[in-house]
Structure 1
Amino acid sequence: MLNKYPMWKYLLLGAIVLISLLYAAPNLYGEDPAIQISATRGATVELATLDKVETLLSEANISPKSTVLENGQILVRLTSSEDQLIAREVIGEELGDGFVSALNLAPATPDWLEAIGGAPLKLGLDLRGGVHFLMEVDMDEAVAKAQEQMVQDFRAELREQKIRFRGIRKANTETGIILRFTSQEVLDKAVDYLKPINPGYLFDDAQDNSEFVLTVAMSDEKLKATKEDALQQNLGILRNRVNELGVAEPLVQRQGADRIVVELPGVQDTARAKEILGATATLEFHPVDSETDINDALVGRLPSSSIVYKERDGRPHVIKKSIILTGNHIVDAQSSLDEYGRAQVNISLDSQGGSKMSRFTKDNIGKPMATLFIEYLPTGKKKANGKTEIEKREEIANVATIQAQLGRSFRITGLDNAAEAHNLALLLRAGALIAPIQIVEERTIGPSLGKQNIDNGIKAMVYGLLAVVLFMFFYYRKFGAIANTALIFNIVMIVGLMSMIPGATLTLPGIAGIVLTVGMAVDANVLIFERIREEIKAGKSIQRAINEGYSNAFSTIADANITTLITAIILFAVGTGPIKGFAVTLMIGIATSMFTSIFGTRAIVNAIWGGRNDIKKLSI
């Protein structure tokens, strides 16, 4: 029989309607301004901390909705954004460096909805407020580091094979190194050994003033891979640092070949974020050159294998250039106080780093070892290419005598205060940036502006929906009312799906995508209804006209939506930030609008007019 659905189709439609309503419902309850309090390493959040927070809020005349300690974190729900900012300032000052107080918006979803996984839409920075950083990776420094690593690797490989060489230094090209040998025979032996185990490098040997010189340079592919690795590693390290800051629902993603976007929802005071995100700090452990007199070294008389560095108080030391260990092997770092109340950082190494430290200290008990602290800071000056110059600062944090064989855990001292030790520990835990980065753009969006964006977006959606609903109702009458029902359900489905999808974030352009979907959703119904009108005018029966209207319009609707879907996929693939937000809502909207305009309206039409032969006229 024409225009009749089996019962299972109606049950399926009912189930989809119910699920969509359930997962869209949390958005009706809204969110409470909240503060999320978590501990950094070395501190714990406990009941005493909760009592202290409640006391601080009471003293500040702030009445929270609730304060809860769960999973090692305290969540304080407040009644307004003003109370939220005041409370964060009070709590942050009193609790100190051992705790992170992050602004947040806590869903007011009922427990029964949370139990089935219900949660409100995650809002983007433009709707929630917060800070946006655009950071640029210094690729020149990344290549220079790779060049220094080449010198160390090739020196170690030649020494391991007992191939004698006169010297190794960096080339002026900044992408390679120069090795000098005493004879062509030794040079050929070095090339035969080095070339197979170092793919991606170009080897070129030549005789220069009776010296036999081997130039090794990075190929274009190797250079490109080095820059890509620097960006990807910095990306991962920045994610770790953002997690240490305790910010709720942050965004860290690449933009182009050498830039990274960091968005921190809820953060208004950017000083702490800039300090942690932009800092480039690491440690290197070096043997101390005890054989070279410091006075000779200060006037330039020192071996080529040694270099002079100073402590913070200006006291110089001669250390060897060879590196025992770098900060890349650090897996944990905690700040604490030693037995004399002085700040220190307790270091834990990975297995490879522990093995290196163990081997070196075993053979050097009673000898001094220096901890070199390295950081990169912007100078404020500009390079010829317009980028800010980065200054590399190196100083000795401490020099300690090795008393016993060390393993994967040890400590460093010589820090000024507990705050410096805490920050250094945080940076070392999160990882040292492979190359320096600088903030090239910074935008702060206040909570009030985010609320204004939401209000404006909702107004635009309501006005657009109202205009479409009125047109459809007056032009297509009963069929228009059916299309309007499907349109409203379409919006519910979009909200429900975006609430269910992990990582999906609604931005202001995303609201624009929903508004666009409102027009596209009824477009399919317009095609169907006009086709039904044509079939009736051609003299076909009502049931036949309805059936052929839906059947014949389907191919046109599918073609139009598929081409739009392809465009949305391309936007999502190549776009960043707001463009991705627009693409996501557009893709979801296309899928839901096809479902509601074809399957949804057809089910309602079939339920009202299907199978009836007594219909003489349609309200269309």
Structure 2
Amino acid sequence: MLGFFFALPNALPADTRAKMPGMFQRTINLGLDLQGGAHMLLEVDLTSVLEQALENEKETIRQEFREADRLRTETIRVDSENDAVIVRLRDAADSDRAFALLRDLSKPVDPTSISQDKTTRVEKLSEKDFRVTITEANIADIQKRTIAQSMNVLRRRIDPQGTTEMTIAPEGDDRILLQIPGAKNVDDIKSVINKTANLSFNMVRKESNNEAAMELARRPGSLSKVPPGAAFYPEEQGGGLIVERRTKITGECLKTSSEGLHPEGNYPIVNFTFNIRCARLFGDLTQKNIGQRFAVVLDGVIITAPRINGAITGGSGFIEGSFTLESARELSLLLNAGALPAKLVIVEERTVGPGLGQDSINAGKIASMIGLAGVGLFMWLSYGLRFGTIANIALTTNIILIAGALSLMGSTLTLPGIAGIILTIGMAVDANVLIFERIREEAHLGRPPVNAIETGYRRSLAPILDANITTLIAAVTLYFVGSGPVRGFAVTLAIGIVMSVFTAVVVARLITATWLRRKRPKTLPI
């Protein structure tokens, strides 16, 4: 009975569904090929990710050597051509200590795995020169994490409420498939994808007040004037500042973000709250740097650079800038979703109109009705009016229960999913055929009707389960191995298999037993 109630909303108008209890308001979601929408294939720029990994490695090495006792370097630079970090010592006598330090910086790629793969490889070029490269295992791990993080960020950006049944899946080693059913404005989606929203809080260097910073502001290309371990970022209102490159306070520290109004000036701001770890870090940072300035950097541009007047230990604050309410809201959504770890390039873009989807739905309905009518006619011709009707009632119940299950699970119905339902219509009567043939054999052996039906159902159960379990295994394999449309087919096929066994073994048997009790026939009309 619950299956009928779950399937019912699909046949009701929207205003009627709204009056039903929450669980019974769900309907089958239509996929991209049925209601139209956007289809995109995105390529992840992994080159920039690996360049950033080398830059991070360089800064880590610089910091470790700076903290090491009497261990000085002459240069630490990134060799982009060979994807390596080159370290040159001042004194060859420190060679062994430096080599040991660099090897200690290499950690296991996956600490939970028994694999001995390390993050970096250290080569000694001479007594004073070393080369640090990122291992292939670490590169593969970085690529995998970048793809996964990009997918999570896209999902949170495009569907922050989790109500859009979009498809997002990896394609190959460096691409992401994105399908958004019902999308009407593709340009808005592309705008969301192209935004990075990299946020960081960096301490302003004292050199920002000297001629070097002014020269960089006039000519940002003269990067040779940037001190080691620092970076120059332009300010939103013009000019620029030199800031510390290394920072532990980034957009990943944000717990929540929301638009709001300044408590005094009544102009738009972006409120933020740090997680517990970063709230402590930010408190320590502001405690140690009272009187200094820190810069809020968004996508390489300094939005604001206030002076620290006291320790900020509450773990929350707000970002000022030239915001409108709309831009503050967009920024808060982007910050909540997180920053994309790499640039995404749209290599393929298609839109599917709802007219094509409606044609697919109509074709699916016609195919389903023809298949249902053909199977029903076959059952009547093969097993007579009485048992043919029982099989057809079970078949109709099976279709309704499939619709109810899809609605309850919130599954998305695609064109391959309709194919799975049509295939299920043909397979659904297999169990009835096995049962009825067995009952016919028992009746021919002279058994009374009750005994023949009881024996037929009991002895048919094992082959029914064997046949359907093997098909169910294939459907489950398709779901976990396949992606996109293949999964849609696998879902409807798996649900159809379970429901067909249930309707044949339980529903059809219940109807048959009720008929037997009422009519008490002397012979079986089969």
Query: What is the TM-score with the length of structure 2 in the denominator?
Result: 0.83
Asked whether the equivalents of residues 39 and 350 of structure 2 are also in contact (C-alpha less than 8 Å), the reply is yes
* Bigger fraction of residues in helix: 2
Q: Deviations over 1:313-340 (max 9, x none)?
A: 6534444434363222233333445555
Which residue matches 2:164?
A: 249
**What is the one-letter code of the residue matched to 1:525?**
N
Matches within 5 A, 1:172-571: 172=80, 176-183=84-91, 186-193=94-101, 195-196=103-104, 198-199=107-108, 200-208=118-126, 211-213=128-130, 215-244=131-160, 248-256=163-171, 257-291=173-207, 292-294=210-212, 300-312=224-236, 315-323=239-247, 325-336=249-260, 338=262, 343-374=268-299, 394-407=300-313, 408-415=315-322, 417-477=324-384, 478-501=386-409, 503-534=410-441, 536=443, 545-571=452-478
Structure 2 counterparts to residues 114-193 of structure 1, below 5 A:
114=21, 117=24, 119-162=26-69, 164-166=71-73, 167-172=75-80, 176-183=84-91, 186-193=94-101
Cα distance in 2 for residues equivalent to 1:159 and 1:303: 15
Shift of 1:515: 1.1
Task: Letter of the 2:124 partner, please give it.
Answer: A
Q: Which amino acid aligns with 1:355?
A: R
Residue type at the aligned position of 1:601: A
Query: For residue 564 of structure 1, what is the amino acid of its counterpart?
Result: T
One-letter identity of the residue aligned with 1:273: I
Question: Structure 1 length normalisation: TM-score?
Answer: 0.72
Structure 2 gaps, min length 5: 109-117
When residues 350 and 169 of structure 1 are mapped into structure 2, their CA distance, relative to the original with a 3 A threshold, is: farther
Stretch deviating more after TM superposition (219-228 or 121-130): 121-130
The alignment covers a number of residue pairs equal to 503
Tell me, in whole angstroms, the C-alpha distance in 2 between the residues paired with 1:290 and 1:556: 81
Q: Give the secondary-structure state (helix, strand or coil) at the position aligned to 1:496.
A: helix
Q: Provide closer, same or farther for how the CA distance between residues 420 and 124 of structure 1 changes in structure 2, counting only shifts above 3 A.
A: same
RMSD: 3.3
**Pairwise CA distance, 1:182:** 3.6
Helix, strand or coil: the match of 1:325? coil
- Tell me the alpha carbon deviations over residues 109-156 of structure 1, each in whole angstroms, 9 at most, x when there is no partner: 264x51665633233333344333333322222222222222223333
1:416 and 1:249 map into 2 onto residues whose CA distance is 29
Tell me by how many angstroms 1:520 deviates: 0.4
Secondary structure, aligned partner of 2:72: coil
Once residues 343 and 589 of structure 1 are traced to their aligned partners in structure 2, the CA distance between those partners, rounded to angstroms, is 54
Do 1:511 and 1:582's aligned partners in 2 also have CA atoms closer than 8 Å? yes
Structure 1 partner of 2:115: none
Q: 1:188 to 1:352 in 2, by over 3 A?
A: farther
Q: Residues of 2 paired with 1:233 and 1:355: CA distance?
A: 25
Q: 1:511 to 1:207 in 2, by over 3 A?
A: closer
The 3 A distance-change label for structure 1 pair 601 and 204 is: same
- Structure-to-structure mapping, 1:51-66, within 5 angstroms: none
Alpha-carbon distance in structure 2 between the residues aligned to 1:184 and 1:30: 82
**Percent identity for Structure 1 against Structure 2:** 35
Q: Is the 8 A contact 1:131 1:264 kept in 2?
A: yes
**Alignment check: 8 A CA contact 2:432 2:504 kept:** yes
Question: How many angstroms apart in 1 are the aligned matches of 2:125 and 2:50?
Answer: 27
Q: Which secondary structure state, in structure 2, belongs to the residue aligned with residue 280 of structure 1?
A: coil
- Mapped to 2, the partners of 1:469 and 1:515 lie a distance apart of 13
Do residues 22 (structure 1) and 5 (structure 2) align? Answer: yes
Point out where structure 1 has 5 or more consecutive residues left out of the alignment: 1-17, 33-107, 375-393
Indicate conservation of the 8 Å contact 1:127/1:508, yes or no: yes
Q: Aligned AA for 2:87?
A: L
The answer to whether the 8 Å contact 2:167/2:484 transfers is: no
Partner of 2:114: none
The answer on whether the counterparts of 1:373 and 1:397 sit within 8 Å (CA) in structure 2 is yes
Give deviations 1:7-32, integer Å, cap 9, x for gaps. xxxxxxxxxxx222222222221435
Contact 1:543 1:610 in 2 (8 A): no
Any conservation in 1 of the 2:201–2:247 contact (CA below 8 Å)?
yes
- CA offsets per residue over residues 528-558 of structure 1, 9 Å max, x none? 3334445555666656654554455444433
Per-residue CA distance 1:463-499 (angstroms, 9 max, x = gap): 2101111121123212212211111111122122222
| Aligned CA distance change for structure 1 residues 182 and 565 (closer, same or farther; 3 Å) | same
Say whether the 8 Å CA contact 1:268–1:444 is kept in structure 2. no
Cα distance in structure 1, aligned partners of 2:246 and 2:457: 77
Structure 1 residues 160 and 250, CA gap change in structure 2 (3 angstroms): farther
Letter in 2 for 1:23: F
- Rounded to whole Å, the distance in 2 between the matches of 1:364 and 1:115 is 53
- CA–CA distance in 1 between the matches of 2:18 and 2:318? 48
1:25 is paired with a residue whose SS is helix
Cα distance change, pair 494–614 in 1 and its aligned pair in 2 (3 A) = closer
More strand as a share of residues: 1
Query: How many angstroms apart in 2 are the aligned matches of 1:350 and 1:162?
Result: 34
Q: Give the Cα–Cα distance (whole angstroms) in 1 for the partners of residues 202 and 148 of structure 2.
A: 28
Shift of 1:597: 2.1
